[in-house]
């Protein structure tokens, strides 16, 4: 059986996967959904430790680690530490790079400048739902009620990679139309790339389509498709 560890992105919580989890369960998969701390002063390493704690609860021999957006950086560092336990890494519009990569290092200068300017102390207030591509009024209200501040240090901290993560097969799910160069990020680290029509918060707008891709990816083990 496959277990998906689903890691939410910046300004979000475990609820980001609420529409995807039932679909994975209906197909017979298990899920673990860690909650990355939003406390002021939290750093990227703190989020990595929270993901490692989630990974360490998994008993299945087939584990797929899934990251949305900012969590790509977190998941890659966590996978580097647990590379023998993980069969596949999936990035959903994921920010990623090599050793020493950071959100502010990867993002356009204008994005980094705007986030710094809008920070309140050591926290970054959440942007409006439209920033995540959510424009449906009901979905936008649902999202706005749940978004929370993001610790500033998580965007300035750099990842620490030994190269072990590159031993794990990976897939980059890239939402279309593209908002940032997520396909290029995935290609640069050697991941298979799959396009998916939908906004950046595709798990909210198109949960079935995303779940179908995750289940397809979950049928791969050590880079080979299982019958």
Are 24 and 4 in contact by the 8 Å Cβ rule? The answer is yes
Mean local confidence (pLDDT), 4-17 = 98
Q: Is the pLDDT of residue 23 over 50?
A: yes
Q: Is the pLDDT of residue 191 over 90?
A: yes
Mean local confidence (pLDDT), 162-184 = 97
Q: What's the rounded Cα separation, in Å, for the pair 171 and 214?
A: 10
Handedness of CA 191, 196, 198, 202 (dihedral sign): negative
Q: Is the pLDDT of residue 226 over 50?
A: no
Name the average pLDDT for the chain: 95
Residue that has been written with the tokens 């993901």 in this structure: 51
Query: What ranges do the domains of the chain cover?
Result: 2-225
Q: Is the pLDDT of residue 29 over 60?
A: yes
Closest CA to 65 of 38, 44, 92, 105: 92
Q: How confident is the model at residue 227 (pLDDT cuts 50, 70, 90)?
A: very low
DSSP SS3 for 6:
strand
Low-confidence winner among 16-30, 96-110, 208-222 (lowest mean pLDDT): 208-222
Closest CA to 80 of 191, 185, 160: 160
Identify the pLDDT of residue 1: 85
* Phi, psi (rounded to 5 degrees) for 175: -70, 145
For strands 170-176 and 88-92, give the pairing.
parallel
Q: DSSP state, 177?
A: S
Identify the pLDDT of residue 219: 76
- The DSSP string of 156-217 is HPPP---SGGGGS-EEEEEEES-SS-HHHHHHHTT-EEEEEES-S-HHHH-HHHHHHHHHHH
Q: DSSP state, 183?
A: H
Measured CA to CA in angstroms, residue 82 lies from 13, 70, 164 at distances of 23, 19, 8
Q: Which residues are bridge partners to 31 per DSSP?
A: 4
Identify the pLDDT of residue 61: 78
Identify the pLDDT of residue 220: 58
| E strand or H helix that includes residue 138 | helix 137-144
Q: DSSP state, 112?
A: H
Identify the pLDDT of residue 152: 98
Query: pLDDT by residue (tens digit) across 39-94?
Result: 999 999 999 999 999 999 998 779 999 999 999 999 999 999 999 999 999 999 99
Overall fold of domain 2-225:
Rossmann fold (3.40.50)
């Amino acid at each position: 059986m496959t277990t998906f560890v689903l890691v939410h992105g910046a300004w979000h919580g475990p609820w980001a996967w609420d529409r995807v989890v039932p679909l994975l369960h209906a197909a017979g998969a298990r899920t673990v959904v860690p909650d990355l701390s939003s406390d002021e002063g939290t750093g990227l390493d703190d989020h990595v430790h929270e993901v490692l704690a989630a990974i360490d609860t998994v008993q299945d021999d087939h584990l797929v680690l899934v990251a949305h957006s900012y969590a790509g950086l977190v998941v890659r560092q966590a996978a580097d530490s647990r590379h023998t336990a993980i069969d596949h890494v999936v990035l959903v519009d994921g920010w990623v790079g090599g050793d020493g990569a950071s959100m502010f290092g990867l993002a356009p200068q204008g994005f980094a400048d705007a986030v710094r300017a809008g920070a309140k102390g050591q926290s970054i207030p959440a942007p409006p739902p439209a920033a995540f591509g959510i424009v449906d009024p009901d979905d936008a209200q649902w999202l706005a009620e749940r978004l929370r501040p993001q610790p500033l240090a998580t965007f300035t901290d750099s990842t620490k990679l030994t190269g072990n993560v590159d031993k794990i097969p990976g897939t980059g799910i890239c939402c279309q139309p593209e908002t940032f160069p997520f396909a290029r990020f995935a290609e640069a680290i050697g991941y298979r790339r799959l396009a998916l029509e939908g906004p950046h918060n595709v798990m909210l707008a198109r949960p079935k389509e995303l779940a179908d891709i995750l289940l397809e990816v979950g049928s791969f083990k050590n880079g080979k498709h299982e019958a």
